Amino acid sequence: MSALNRNILALREMSADEIQLILDQAQEMKEILSRPIKKVPTLRGKSVVTLFFENSTRTRMSFEMAAKTLSADVTGFAASTSSVAKGESLKDTILTLNAMKADAFVIRHSASGAAHFIARHTSARVINAGDGTHEHPTQGLLDMLTIRQHKGTLRGLTVAIVGDIAHSRVARSNVWGLTKMGAKVRLVGPRTLLPADVEQLPVEVHTDLRRGISGCDVVNVLRIQMERQDAGLFPSVREYAQTFGVNRSVLREAKPDVLVMHPGPMNRGIEITPDVADGEFSVVTEQVTNGVAVRMALLYLLLGGSNDASGH
Amino acid sequence: MRLVIKGGRIIDPRNGLDTVGDLLVEDGVIAWCGQHLPDAMALDGDVVFDASGLIVAPGLIDMHVHLREPGFEYKETIESGGRAAAAGGFTAVVPMPNTNPATDNRAMVEFVARRARETSPVRVWPTVAATRGNENELMSEIADAKEAGAVAVTDDAFPLQSAELTRRVMEYCATFDLPLLTHCEDKTMTRGGVMNEGLVSTLMGLKGMPRAAEEIQVARNIRLAELTGCRLHILHISTARSIELVREAKRRGVSVTCETCPQYFTLTDESALGYDTMVKCSPPVRTAEDVDAVRAGLADGTIDAIATDHAPHAAHEKECEFQAAAFGMVGLETALGLVLTRLVHAGVIGLADAIRKMTVAPASILGIPGGHLSVQSPADITIIDPDERWTVDPEAFQSRARNTPFAGWELRGRAVATIVGGQIVHGDLVRAPRGRVRA
Ligand SMILES: [Zn+2]
């Protein structure tokens, strides 16, 4: 029996208890990763298919590492170079893969809702590894795990998310995950990069960077996509860096023990200055480690390993 | 052959008729309509139907449908769309010209009319595209198309972007006394958009289409109608501010009318949560505030007509990612049920008003015959059971398409029979017992 009786599609659809369970489990998984021999037999015989319709080597590797550490069999399907390129529909792809009897699908897709669509057409468990501009729940979870490790709790903290909120699945997952766990969230960016009716979310909205991060415990900096400039959403990368780039001076507005996070890959010198990206407040590399732990926890909780997770 | 429809509640808004009575059809035209048919007019051998408890209305007219022929016969044809219309209680439909090739000239208008004569059980009034190939560049041969039978000029699905071109099309329409039906959307604001822009699009991470994109063009087109004297009709109005603009323009005496569709008084953008592609349409379904405004606009007469924007699509065009799915939903077979359930039984508008918006209103906006039960006019009649409860089952549709967000909905009221030119094209009328044939 699995402990989480559902797909992982969006943190908005999850309860605080479920998130708590995943974070606690991830904490245990992190212990496995610190052992000299990083392999437990927990998911032996289970098959996991990573289905990446959009490139993301980091996220795919993180999931593959997680699955292999738990001894699951992992098959990668890079859809951009296979049937989808030949015009096969997503439904056909899923029906085919479903017939191969995988236990879980890990989906990355450029269309919001793609993971929901796939979940409707398969009997396997589905984990959303990022769908369009909707959600990236495992990123949200690994961000929360990282904050919790440093601050002990999420309750009562103030987290500023800075940048292109409108197009960020990371921001959406963070908003729901953090607020459900009792943190306060601020969204910071120019009006053109904030989504419609954003004030109706359970967040504070700021268009001034200094005010937005003042007194914050955590500043989560989002990657800026250069094509947003071509779309007319900001006038130039230079101006963006000057007004919304996170640098040391601006960071003084935050708490002295502020954590600086970034989902990667970073545009150093644009949304974040190099000294901040690599400085003492940055927990970017820990986020990467925690990503593997969170994904192990999810696979374990969804696929119900036959042994104790820690492998004794 | 003579047909007597006895004892129904006859509602004919144009003639101010709302009475229990009889209707006699002879040689395809209405020979008597009103209270008890005089004994002297009843003959042996009349086929007599018992309409007691039913509404006898003028044949419903849907002034906004997509029949997909030619070019997209896999979605729908003039025949299958005509059968869907008959099943939904419509005796006439007005197909939009976004076919392939576009219905943008005399030959294409004649083709649509001929296919309709050959295959459709209901009347089909063709329209002509405002621009050649729907390309928003050169005006179509509007006068020629009118001679071939086009009843209106329209930019539906390809909204005219240039104000100058719109002005010239309107002047030309005014010259040849054709109404211009406009889909109001500033495409520069909706590029990539797949649903209403707002909280729900933000939650779903989908690109929104702001209400302002519709309202800007409603305002512009009203202003151009004033300038040109063109009869302007706004297709599928969907926002509170658009309706306010029309209300204000009408107050000033501008020649503007508008329609809405059942989805805009029934659904909000929240119905897209879960990424249900069936609710994806253009304009998108909006918010509760807009739905309230649509209802209010229907009630106070700002919204003249109810159409469907029947937009059939094949299954694979909807069974996909939300952003990749086709826009539109079928409507012919659910419209009357939704109007009765959501507007009439819900107390938003009266039964006669609902019938007016689906009969004489579209007929007069387009200047086409029909929409009333006057003696000597063609016998286009819809017989409605206002209370029958039924569940929407797309598998039972006459349309080739099944793309409806209303599958499984329980509705109250539907057409039990549809009569076009005296021919029963849908329904099983219950014949009156022999003893009731003669009074
Ligand atoms: Zn249309």
B254 vs A94, residue with greater confidence: B254
Q: Which residues from chain A sit within 8 angstroms of residue B197, using beta carbons? A: 196
In this prediction, what percent of chain B has a pLDDT beyond 70? 98
pLDDT category at B55 given cuts 50, 70, 90 is very high
Q: Which residues from chain B sit within 8 angstroms of residue A131, using beta carbons? A: 205
Are B322 and A90 within 8 A, CB to CB? no
CA distance A252 to chain B (A): 31
Instruction: Give the C-alpha separation, B239 to B268, whole Å.
Output: 11
Q: What is the pLDDT of residue A310?
A: 45
Q: What is the pLDDT of residue B439?
A: 34
pLDDT at residue B177 tops 60: yes
Strand-strand pairing, A184-188 and A204-206? parallel
Closest CA to A178 of A211, A202, A151, A195: A202
Poorest-pLDDT segment among A266-280, B36-50, B135-149, B163-177: B36-50
Instruction: Give the C-alpha separation, B282 to A276, whole Å.
Output: 46
Instruction: Give the C-alpha separation, B86 to B124, whole Å.
Output: 12
Query: Which of B104, B309, B353, B385 is labelled catalytic?
Result: B309
**Residue A201 touches partner B, C-beta closer than 8 Å:** yes
B144, β-bridge pairs: none
Instruction: Give the C-alpha separation, A122 to A102, whole Å.
Output: 10
Taking the centre of ligand 1 as the mean of its atom positions, its distance from the CA of residue B67, in whole angstroms, is 10
pLDDT at residue B79 tops 50: yes
Q: What is the pLDDT of residue A1?
A: 47
CA distance B71 to chain A (A): 21
Q: What is the pLDDT of residue A84?
A: 60
Burial class (CB in 10 A: 0-12, 13-18, 19+), A257: exposed
CB under 8 Å to B128, separation ≥6 — which residues? Answer: B97, B103, B104, B105, B108, B109, B140, B142, B145, B146, B150, B152, B153, B154
B77-B83-B85 Cα angle (round to 5): 100
In this prediction, what percent of chain B has a pLDDT beyond 90? 94
Instruction: Give the C-alpha separation, A184 to A154, whole Å.
Output: 9
In the DSSP assignment, the letter for residue B53 is T
pLDDT category at A305 given cuts 50, 70, 90 is low
Q: What is the pLDDT of residue B437?
A: 40
In this prediction, what percent of chain A has a pLDDT beyond 70? 94
- A274-300: pLDDT as tens digits: 999 999 999 999 999 999 999 999 999
In this prediction, what percent of chain A has a pLDDT beyond 90? 81
CA distances from B423 to B51, B377, B420 (A): 16, 14, 5
Q: Which of B197, B202, B321 sits opposite A113 (nearest CB)?
A: B321
Mean pLDDT, residues B372-385 taken together: 98
pLDDT at residue A306 tops 70: no
pLDDT at residue A82 tops 90: no
Work out the mean pLDDT of chain B and round it to a whole number. 96
**Residue B192 touches partner A, C-beta closer than 8 Å:** no
pLDDT at residue A80 tops 90: no
Mean pLDDT, residues B196-217 taken together: 98
**Residue A311 touches partner B, C-beta closer than 8 Å:** no
CA distance B66 to chain A (A): 25
Strand-strand pairing, B29-34 and B17-26? antiparallel
pLDDT category at B433 given cuts 50, 70, 90 is low
With beta carbons less than 8 A apart as the criterion, state whether B59 and B382 touch: yes
Q: What is the pLDDT of residue A95?
A: 86
Are A109 and B198 within 8 A, CB to CB? no
Q: What is the pLDDT of residue B436?
A: 46
Q: What is the pLDDT of residue A4?
A: 80
A312 vs A25, residue with greater confidence: A25
pLDDT at residue A309 tops 90: no
Query: Which of A57, A81, A86, A312 is labelled catalytic?
Result: A86
Amino acid letter for position B342? R
B224 vs A6, residue with greater confidence: B224
pLDDT at residue A3 tops 80: no
- A149-197: pLDDT as tens digits: 999 999 999 999 999 999 999 999 999 999 999 999 999 999 999 999 9
Instruction: Give the C-alpha separation, B234 to B219, whole Å.
Output: 11
- The DSSP line for chain A is --SS-S-B--GGGS-HHHHHHHHHHHHHHHHHHTSSS----TTTT-EEEEEESS--HHHHHHHHHHHHHTT-EEEEEEGGGSGGGGT--HHHHHHHHHHTT-SEEEEEESSTTHHHHHHHT-SSEEEEEEETTTB-HHHHHHHHHHHHHHHS--TT-EEEEES--TT-HHHHHHHHHHHHTT-EEEEES-GGGS-TTGGGSSSEEES-HHHHHTT-SEEEEPPPPTHHHHTTSSS-HHHHHHHH-B-HHHHTTS-TT-EEE--S---BTTTB-HHHHTSTTB-HHHHHHHHHHHHHHHHHHHHT-SS-TT--
Cα-flanking dihedrals φ and ψ of residue A85, to 5°? -65, -25
Q: What is the pLDDT of residue B432?
A: 66
- With tokens 């040689």, the residue in question is B27
Closest CA to B219 of B193, B249, B198, B199: B249
Instruction: Give the C-alpha separation, B116 to B121, whole Å.
Output: 8
pLDDT at residue B312 tops 60: yes
Instruction: Give the C-alpha separation, B196 to B193, whole Å.
Output: 8
Q: What is the pLDDT of residue A5?
A: 74
Number of neighbours of residue B360 by Cβ within 10 angstroms: 20
Q: What is the pLDDT of residue B429?
A: 76
Q: Which residues from chain B sit within 8 angstroms of residue A232, using beta carbons? A: none
Taking the centre of ligand 1 as the mean of its atom positions, its distance from the CA of residue B96, in whole angstroms, is 7
Cα-flanking dihedrals φ and ψ of residue B5, to 5°? -110, 110
A-chain residue closest to B188, CA distance: A231
Taking the centre of ligand 1 as the mean of its atom positions, its distance from the CA of residue B333, in whole angstroms, is 16
- A108 a catalytic residue: yes
- With tokens 């926890």, the residue in question is A297
For residue A30, the Cα-to-chain-centroid distance in whole angstroms is: 17
